[in-house]
Chain A
Amino acid sequence: KQEVTQIPAALSVPEGENLVLNCSFTDSAIYNLQWFRQDPGKGLTSLLLIQSSQREQTSGRLNASLDKSSGRSTLYIAASQPGDSATYLCAVPSGGAGNMLTFGGGTRLMVKP
């Protein structure tokens, strides 16, 4: 059974810092890996999706990497801003892309002005 773990569970940084969020998964036979953002009381916003054949994806100040063999992914946020404060979740599908997602526990990020 796939298990997804995120470290740290919570993170507080001053504005402007670069930071790294970690995600690990136990079964490396994944189809893709996705990072989401969730604001309090809201649904999920997809940030980046990395296919199993890719090593990284970039969107603005966000960069996600994937190392399937070691079962790890990182989300790098450059020059953090208070508006980045949210919970960040990584998730992998079981089997194909349309299958159920297994989520990590999330990292609650607070960026202080």
Chain B
Amino acid sequence: GAVVSQHPSWVICKSGTSVKIECRSLDFQATTMFWYRQFPKQSLMLMATSNEGSKATYEQGVEKDKFLINHASLTLSTLTVTSAHPEDSSFYICSATGTGLNTQYFGPGTRLTVL
């Protein structure tokens, strides 16, 4: 089946720093990638949708200048949390889909802790 990886799996950073999370499709071309955020004991909430070569579409309430998304190739999307604060601590999960696929495939997630 289609495989999606994320890196890093966990990261701890100081308040005010920026953190980059990578999402890769390993064996298919991901024309669309999605970024979700999940707080403890809550469900996944979509943050943004990115199509390869285009600007990401952000959901209401998600600051596009804070959460920078780049989808420059068909196998890689990155999420950069700029000037991270403790309230940004969360579990970030990406998913990807491509031509001919009837569903999204999810990455293993990245645990971000901002001190």
- Which A positions have Cβ atoms within 8 angstroms of B? 32, 34, 36, 41-44, 46, 49, 51, 89, 97-98, 100-106, 108
With an 8 Å Cβ cutoff, the count of chain B residues facing the other chain is 26
CB distance from B50 to the nearest CB of A (A): 11
B10 closest partner in A (C-beta):
A41
List the A side residues contacting B111 at CB < 8 Å: 41
The CA of A7 and the CA of B80, in the complex, are separated in Å by 35
Are B44 and A89 in contact (CB-based, < 8 A)? yes
Are B108 and A46 in contact (CB-based, < 8 A)? no
Are B42 and A105 in contact (CB-based, < 8 A)? yes
The CA of A42 and the CA of B108, in the complex, are separated in Å by 6
B91 closest partner in A (C-beta):
A41
List the A side residues contacting B49 at CB < 8 Å: 100
Are A43 and B107 in contact (CB-based, < 8 A)? yes
List the B side residues contacting A103 at CB < 8 Å: 43-45
List the A side residues contacting B107 at CB < 8 Å: 43
List the A side residues contacting B108 at CB < 8 Å: 42-43
The CA of A106 and the CA of B45, in the complex, are separated in Å by 12
Knowing A41-B111, A100-B34, the reply to whether A34 touches B93 (Cβ < 8 A) is: no
The CA of A63 and the CA of B105, in the complex, are separated in Å by 21
Knowing A100-B46, A106-B43, the reply to whether A43 touches B106 (Cβ < 8 A) is: yes
Knowing A44-B93, A100-B34, A100-B49, the reply to whether A32 touches B103 (Cβ < 8 A) is: yes
10 A–B pairs (Cβ distance < 8 Å), ordered by A: A32-B103, A41-B109, A44-B93, A49-B103, A89-B43, A98-B98, A98-B104, A100-B49, A101-B104, A105-B42
Q: Is B32 close to A, CB under 8 A?
A: yes
List the A side residues contacting B54 at CB < 8 Å: none
